[in-house]
Structure 1
Amino acid sequence: MVINYPNGKIYSPQKNSNENRSKKDYSYSNRGKTLEDEINETNEYYMQHGTAVIHKKPVPIQVVQVEYPSRSAAVIKEAYYRTASTTDFNGVWQGLHVDFEAKETKSKSSFPLKNIHAHQIDHMRLVTQQKGLTFLIVRFSSVNRYFILPFYSLQDVWNEMCNGGRKSIPFNYFEQYGFEIVPGAFPPIDYLQVVRKMLLEQSTKQ
């Protein structure tokens, strides 16, 4: 199936290795997962334990071409996103609206800002203005390190890029201004524990 973004670019969906599994396996030894897989399993763990209700946002598509290889089966061959996506995940945690984007990079030295779009920054800014909690989770897959970057830090580097600055975020920027998530087993990446630490640090600076 071919799915196109609103700008005409072709989207190639990633296969979910946990699809159609009746029982989730939260073992960190199960390698080869994408960041999205790990967050989905973490979110399910949160929901099962009454910690938070956070989900991957569904993005509506417009189907434009369908083929029927048999009378009982239909195959979507081409479709388009109806609207540009905002962020990947949102939900509620301890009365707070949580809204975040999740990205992976194979680079060891930096995160390319081309992986973030202007409408996503605008959305995160609006969420922040409404007292929602928004941030970026980045996985540096080559070194297996995970960071939460608060929106205000992401906004700083975004504005710098828009003013002619560098088009990527250096790895040491994440080490200095981000909050590292240490992966585990139950759940795979306990990002809300790190968010709690981030909020505590922010409150002490006010």
Structure 2
Amino acid sequence: MSHGKRGKTLENIIEYSNKVYKNKGMALVDKVPTPWNVHYNKKTGRVVRAFPEKKGTVDFVGISHGRSIAFDAKSTKIRTSFPLKNVEQHQVDYLINHQDQGGISFFIVYFEKHNEAYYLPIDELKKWWDSQLSGGRKSIPYEWFVLNTDLIKTNNGVPLDYLERAI
């Protein structure tokens, strides 16, 4: 299964969680659509090729209790670590800028083999990110997540209750 399709399951769970948040009046969080570059055959009008354009933001943005929220969802099949190559520089930049403006910025990192999702604040990711750019580790160990971040659990009818940690 492609990397993009693996993350789709996680995104679907988050989108369902967002619907529950909306229905309960707890938050309004939406998936940011990926713009597509579509090329048509001028004679037939049929699509001849299409590909996603480079994104400049993150997967989800919204608001809860007057606070802006922005985050990206990442999934990995690796049991022992989360590869930083799964993160793009524009995502780090966007989340840092969002936080600098008073917003809540984070990643949800899902370890498929453990069936566990973790709340990773942008400040913590940024430490690992900067370290790898200067020759440090290119991944974050799974054990570090267990010891230093919050496991996102099902709570109050929300399958992935990330707001419990974010707000």
TM-score by length of 2: 0.88
- AA aligned opposite 2:81: S
Offset of residue 77 of structure 1 = 4.2
SS across alignment from 2:129? helix
- AA aligned opposite 2:120: L
- AA aligned opposite 1:86: T
Offset of residue 59 of structure 1 = 1.8
Offset of residue 176 of structure 1 = 2.5
Instruction: State the partner residue of 1:104.
Output: 75
Query: C-alpha offsets along residues 121-155 of structure 1, whole Å, 9 cap, x if unaligned?
Result: 11111111101110010111111111001111000
Instruction: State the partner residue of 2:24.
Output: 49
- AA aligned opposite 1:94: H
CA contact (8 A) 1:61 1:81 kept: yes
Select the residue among 139, 142, 150 that pairs with 1:168: 139
Structure 1 residues 183, 144: closer, same or farther in 2, change over 3 A? farther
Instruction: State the partner residue of 1:190.
Output: 161
Post-superposition, which runs of at least 4 consecutive aligned residues in structure 1 deviate over 4 A? Answer: none
Instruction: State the partner residue of 1:113.
Output: 84
Aligned pairs (5 A) from 1:52-71: 52-65=27-40
Instruction: State the partner residue of 2:10.
Output: 35
Instruction: State the partner residue of 2:102.
Output: 131
Identity among equivalent positions (%) equals 35
CA contact (8 A) 1:153 1:177 kept: no
Instruction: Report the Cα distance in structure 1 between the residues aligned to 2:29 and 2:68, rounded to whole angstroms.
Output: 9
Instruction: Report the Cα distance in structure 1 between the residues aligned to 2:86 and 2:5, rounded to whole angstroms.
Output: 16
Instruction: Report the Cα distance in structure 1 between the residues aligned to 2:61 and 2:67, rounded to whole angstroms.
Output: 10
SS across alignment from 1:108? coil
Instruction: Report the Cα distance in structure 1 between the residues aligned to 2:154 and 2:29, rounded to whole angstroms.
Output: 19
Instruction: Report the Cα distance in structure 2 between the residues aligned to 1:143 and 1:13, rounded to whole angstroms.
Output: 19
Structure 1 residues 185, 144: closer, same or farther in 2, change over 3 A? farther
Instruction: Report the Cα distance in structure 2 between the residues aligned to 1:80 and 1:99, rounded to whole angstroms.
Output: 25
SS across alignment from 1:34? helix
Q: Confirm or deny that 1:88 pairs with 2:59.
A: yes
Instruction: Report the Cα distance in structure 1 between the residues aligned to 2:3 and 2:74, rounded to whole angstroms.
Output: 15
Question: Would you tell me which structure has more helix in proportion to its own residues?
Answer: 2
Name which one, 1 or 2, has greater alpha-carbon Rg: 1
- AA aligned opposite 1:186: G
Name structure 2 gaps, 5 residues minimum: none
Offset of residue 175 of structure 1 = 1.7
For the aligned residue pairs, the C-alpha RMSD in angstroms reads 2.6
Instruction: Report the Cα distance in structure 2 between the residues aligned to 1:98 and 1:35, rounded to whole angstroms.
Output: 18
Larger mean Cα displacement after TM superposition, 81-90 or 36-45: 81-90
CA contact (8 A) 1:149 1:177 kept: no
CA contact (8 A) 2:104 2:166 kept: no
Query: C-alpha offsets along residues 53-95 of structure 1, whole Å, 9 cap, x if unaligned?
Result: 0010012212113599xx9xx7644223344342100000111
TM-score by length of 1: 0.73
